[in-house]
Structure 1
Amino acid sequence: MRKGEAGRASTDAVLAFCWSARVLTATDAMEATGLTRSTVIDAIDELVEAGVLRELPNARAAGEYRSGRPARRFEVRTDFGIVVGLDAGNAHIAVTVADPFDRVLAHRRIEIGRSRSARAHRRIILDLLNETLASAGETRERILAVCAGVAAPVDRQGFSPPHPELFWERTNPDLIELLADWAPVVEVKNDAQLAAAAEGAEGAAIGCQDYVALLAGERFGSGVVVDGHLLHGAHGGVGEGVVFDHVVGVGSAFGLRYGIERQVRAALEAGEISPDGALAALASEEDIPPQAVLELASAGDADALLVAERVGSALATVIGVLGSTFDPDRVIVCGAIAEGIEPVLAAARRLLPERLHLPAPELIASTLGADVVSRGAIATAREAARTRTVPMRVRAGLQAGSAALA
């Protein structure tokens, strides 16, 4: 390996440690990386020059010095840039602006109509991106990485395959090209895969190597992690929900929101629920609010519990297919529908052992709410900033310095 490559690898190793340590001394970095003191000090100086690290007052000035020469202390700057997460759903758009570590600077979410052109979708996204940046007091020039989640399979280049009804083209109207000049790194991902990233980073899958994050509100879509790796596929289609159109006992890729409504109306038409009950009153509305049905079930309403049992049966079949295909240890129901979904999950847990021969996965509700995709997008953008953008900027600075000395 050439000397330049060795120096770059050393700087990358120190940078990786700095990102996790946040505050450090050269001795800390030496112990963590196994590099020599002179190599670590050179790398730290380069990171200071690149604006990634700043030197702190030494131990004497900080009031911690006792004897001997006080160590130089450094911290990773949190103000050298920002990251952006985008959740471009079928019925909503959400934008999050955050620092590269743990602070959200601004978040905006709007509901949108489902019938719209790809061009209109792009315009809505750009408008909300600009509005959210402005509310954070930030500019495009400071963006280190952008990650967008879409309700469509996405290949490794950020494009979605054609859909027979143009649905995927509308929800992902070539966002990789639309956002190409917004940041040094732009990624477009399937929304369920980002939900899986969020659950693994801060949710119910921390420390779990085999799990499925099931977006289950509008349509079924699964982010699948096996042996600690997020599965993708040739076209980004691992976990695509269209399979459930063809599964007996499910019959549709539409999610629990619609499953609850279908079961309420079917039970009312069949005379299985009281026409004067609370559930029948909800059915008089044009759109039955699923959370209201779940609240009735949680309160013990017999009619709502009947619906929860039937929706739970369909969900058990969904989990059975996922369990037989991917053998997860855990399945996490994600999205806004997860709030209050316990009556449905309780029914599914009872039925699940009948739906697969493998041990049944643990079935739990996410606690990350409607913003689970946004959280996954931010986590992915932060990872891209840490592993790609910042190292690129440090190397560019080193190359510029070398050229100046030549």
Structure 2
Amino acid sequence: MLDHAWGAREFTASDVMAATGLTRSTAIEAMDTLAEMGLLEELPNARLAGDYRKGRPARRFALHADAAVLLGVDAGHTHITATVTDLRSHSLASHRTTHQIDAEGPDDRRRAVLGTVDEALRRAGRSRGDVLAIAVGVPAPVDATGRSPRHPDGFWERMNPDLAEALAWAPLVRIDNDASLAAVAEGAVGAAAGCADYVTLLAGDRLGAGVVVDGRLLRGAHGGVGEMVAFDHVEGVGSAYGLGAMAATWARAAVAEGRLTPGGALAGLAADDLDGRRVLEAAAAGDPDAQAIAERVGAVLARIVSVLGSMFDPRRVVVSGAIAAGVADVVDAARLALPTDLHLPAPELVISPLGADVVVTGAVSAAADAARTAALDVWATRQA
């Protein structure tokens, strides 16, 4: 009954009977029970609502969307974004902070995440006690318990310093890799909606991949599926730097070596002022130096896509994240450079429409999935 309510705008006992096969008496009893628990709300009947029908008007119900809130968090390397939604994932408030994370210890990281969450709740007019489910994306592999393995320089532990424990005041908590949550978003409302086999390539400062095979998000023993460090050893790639970082590095080298066309868009910039966004914007505007760099990045992307295609056999690879808005030239070049000698059909390469909020969008979707699965258990425990 509750699952039906989550997917329906409003409904009557007859609607539930048709959708679930329940008898009328069972459907009415379940609706009344869920209304008493606060998970459903009874709406004005059809006659009071102005939709006149002969005979006794049917009782109408809907999910009580304000009964609790969901939290989606993108706890990135230098920023933290928290979004509060109602049970239907309608946004109520967001808050974003920036940090020099590498200079902070685990306690600072936990305080930063909790502070951002609490401020988002304050802006939404809610409190921790109203939270039913929270999902957090971090730039680190995460295992099924919400913990990250050790990293040679401690980076993963800094990004995920036992956040599952720090957020244990919420009934339902999911800590996950940020690229995995980006994949959740793409499958739910993005470029992979309706696709059961795809890879989301989160192209931030470094590359990360969320892998979905046969409709299931893959994790691995330590949460390492989709970690891209292996590309440090792949000829033609050489590192796991993000697409924008590659473009900026090569543009700065060209400036330093005096290889840019005099009077061009890039030639007039100091090396320190060049970032991936500016290089890709210049390429889109037709600057030949920037276009050459975009083609070079595209060739690397093609190699990455071909390796992912051989490993996971996806139908689609989605370039996702904030950089996606400016990578049309890179993706066009990558499509032309995709190898044809890998036996399997090359995956379709597409650009995400979700922009910089893809991780927090996936986190909200993951929180909603958890809530939809376990809300009844949480409410039963509260009322026991």
Instruction: Report what 1:391 is aligned to.
Output: 376
Q: Aligned partners of 1:214, 1:287: CA distance in 2, in Å?
A: 26
Is 1:194 aligned to 2:181, yes or no?
yes
Q: Secondary structure at the match of 2:94?
A: strand
State the TM-score, normalized to the length of structure 2. Answer: 0.96
Contact 1:317/1:355 (8 A) holds in 2 = no
Instruction: Report what 1:137 is aligned to.
Output: 125
Q: 1:338 to 1:208 in 2, by over 3 A?
A: same
Provide Cα deviations, 1:249-287, integer angstroms capped at 9, x if missing partner.
Answer: 1111111121001221333455542244221223x1414
Instruction: Report what 1:220 is aligned to.
Output: 207
Instruction: Report what 2:70 is aligned to.
Output: 83
Instruction: Report what 1:126 is aligned to.
Output: 114
Instruction: Report what 1:238 is aligned to.
Output: 225
Q: How many residues align?
A: 383
Provide Cα deviations, 1:278-333, integer angstroms capped at 9, x if missing partner.
Answer: 21223x14142211111111111111111011111111111111111111111111
Residue type of the alignment partner of 1:71: A
List aligned pairs for 1:176-195, cutoff 5 A: 176-181=164-169, 183-195=170-182
Q: Secondary structure at the match of 1:353?
A: coil
Q: Aligned partners of 1:141, 1:269: CA distance in 2, in Å?
A: 55
State the TM-score, normalized to the length of structure 1. Answer: 0.91
Instruction: Report what 2:358 is aligned to.
Output: 372
Instruction: Report what 2:303 is aligned to.
Output: 317
Of the candidates 308, 328, 331, which is equivalent to residue 345 of structure 1? 331
Q: Aligned partners of 1:357, 1:300: CA distance in 2, in Å?
A: 35
Q: 1:114 to 1:393 in 2, by over 3 A?
A: closer
Is 1:356 aligned to 2:342, yes or no?
yes
Contact 1:86/1:96 (8 A) holds in 2 = yes
Provide Cα deviations, 1:104-159, integer angstroms capped at 9, x if missing partner.
Answer: 11112222214222222112112111111111111111000111111001000000
Q: Aligned partners of 1:204, 1:32: CA distance in 2, in Å?
A: 29
Provide Cα deviations, 1:73-129, integer angstroms capped at 9, x if missing partner.
Answer: 111111101011111111111111111113111112222214222222112112111
1:354 positional shift: 4.2
Q: Aligned partners of 1:394, 1:92: CA distance in 2, in Å?
A: 33
Contact 2:256/2:271 (8 A) holds in 1 = no
1:22 positional shift: 2.9
Q: Aligned partners of 1:66, 1:122: CA distance in 2, in Å?
A: 57
Residue type of the alignment partner of 2:122: A
Q: How large is the Cα RMSD of the aligned pairs?
A: 1.5
Is 1:151 aligned to 2:100, yes or no?
no
Q: Secondary structure at the match of 1:130?
A: helix
Q: Aligned partners of 1:95, 1:356: CA distance in 2, in Å?
A: 42
5+ residue gaps, structure 2: none
Residue type of the alignment partner of 2:289: D
Contact 2:179/2:202 (8 A) holds in 1 = yes
Q: Aligned partners of 1:172, 1:303: CA distance in 2, in Å?
A: 40
Q: Aligned partners of 1:248, 1:94: CA distance in 2, in Å?
A: 36
Q: Aligned partners of 1:138, 1:82: CA distance in 2, in Å?
A: 8
Of the candidates 269, 288, 291, which is equivalent to residue 274 of structure 2? 288
Instruction: Report what 2:239 is aligned to.
Output: 252
Contact 1:224/1:238 (8 A) holds in 2 = yes
5+ residue gaps, structure 1: 1-13, 401-406
Of the candidates 103, 106, 112, which is equivalent to residue 93 of structure 2? 106
Q: Secondary structure at the match of 1:221?
A: strand
Instruction: Report what 1:28 is aligned to.
Output: 15
Is 1:162 aligned to 2:150, yes or no?
yes
Q: Aligned partners of 1:309, 1:114: CA distance in 2, in Å?
A: 33
Q: 1:103 to 1:130 in 2, by over 3 A?
A: same
